[in-house]
Amino acid sequence: MEEILEILSKDARTTPAEIAKMVGKSESAVKTAIRKFEKNGTIVRYKTVIDSTKVKEAKNKVRALIEVSVSPQKNVGFDNVAERIYSFPEVTSCYLLSGAYDLLVIVEGEDLQTVSNFVAAKLSSMEAVRSTTTHFLLKKYKEDGYILEKKSKVKRLNISY
C-alpha cells in the first residue's frame, strides 16, 4: 500500500482506476486503502502547488523561515513550546531540527512589518524562546519537489577565431 501513497504524493489527482493499473490491484481495493489512509490520518490533506508569480491578481504574501532556539521543558521536551508556536495563525509550518537551532518555523504575513511584528511581539517574547534568526524568502525555485520556473535553454552561437 506504500505505492499508493507514493503515487498520490506525486499527483493527488491520480484516480483510483489509474492507481489500480499502476500497482496491479483492483480499483475497489485502492479506494478502500485510500479511505483507510484518510481515516487514520496517514493522508492529512490534498495540496495543490501553485506558482503565485503566475497569478496576476494574487497578493504575494511575505514568507519567512525562522530558526528558533528554545529551552526544552521538563518531561515534555520541545513539544509544548512547538505547540504554542504553531498555534499562531501566522505560522504555516513548524519542524523540530537537529543542529544549532531547535525549531524551524515558517511564517506568512501580508507584508514585512506583519512578519517582523510576529517575531518581535509574539515569538521572541515567549519565555522558552532563547533566540531567533529570521530569513525572508525572496524567490521560490522549487517547491515540494517541483521546479516552478524552468529555464529555457539559450542557444549560443559558436565563436571561432
Quick: pLDDT tens for 99-125: 999 999 999 999 999 999 999 999 999
DSSP state of 136: E
Q: Where is pLDDT greater, at 50 or 28?
A: 28
With beta carbons less than 8 A apart as the criterion, state whether 30 and 19 touch: yes
Does 60 share its domain with 35?
Answer: no
| CATH value at residue 13 | 1.10.10
Closest CA relative to residue 12, chosen from 23, 1, 4: 4
pLDDT at 143: 83
Domain span including residue 9: 2-39
Burial per residue of 38-70, b for 16 or more beta-carbon CB atoms within 10 angstroms, e otherwise: eeeeebeeeeeeeeeeeeeeeeeebbbebbbeb
Question: Tens of pLDDT along 128-154?
Answer: 999 999 999 998 888 877 788 777 666
83 part of a folded domain? yes
159 part of a folded domain? no
Does 128 share its domain with 66?
Answer: yes
Helix (H, G, I), strand (E, B) or coil at 113: helix
126 part of a folded domain? yes
Does 61 share its domain with 14?
Answer: no
What is the percent of the chain where pLDDT is above 90? 66
CA distance 82 to 105: 9
Report the domain count for the chain.
2
